[in-house]
Amino acid sequence: MHEKIKQYQEKILSYKDQLRDVRVIGLLVFLGVLLLMTWSGIKVIDTNYGLQRQISGLQQQNDVQSLANQNLKLQNQYYATDQYLDIAARQDFGLASPGETVWIVPENVAMAHTVNLPNLEQQQAAKVQAKQPAYQRHLQAWMDFLLHRQSPQ
């Protein structure tokens, strides 16, 4: 047992001697510098990636804005046409083209002959409900019935 302890102490002393060797110290310094260079390279790559994402986002915003500008140009061109002027005169001033007769219909009469269309939320709810399995639709119908809720039709 005492011999094993001695061998262990000798190993430790040999490791200490190896650490004092110039070649080992040089190797450790080289590994430290290599580690620092690798870390620096990783940081540069990360910074470049973040900057590239910012550039991409700004380019997308620029593209969207240029499309909005083109849309406004087309809209301005439409406002300058005779067709728009004719429609605007009919809507705003109640004017008509030569030979046409303007009929003014009271709002309550016009609204009496309209059909109520479902709004967008009801259409989306109907699509979601159509995708549900039958048991889930039946369960929802019972819940609506028991809780006195109007189910979207």
Residue 152 pLDDT grade (very low, low, confident, very high; cuts 50, 70, 90): low
Residue 34 predicted with pLDDT over 90: yes
Q: Of the spans 4-18, 55-69, 92-106, which averages the highest pLDDT?
A: 55-69
3-state secondary structure of 147: coil
Residue-averaged pLDDT of the chain:
85
The secondary structure of 81-134, three-state, reads CHHHHHHHHHHHHCCCCCCCCCCCCCHHHHHHCCCCCCCHHHHHHHHHHHHCCH
The token pair at 153 is 């039709």
pLDDT at 43: 95
Whole-structure pTM value? 0.43
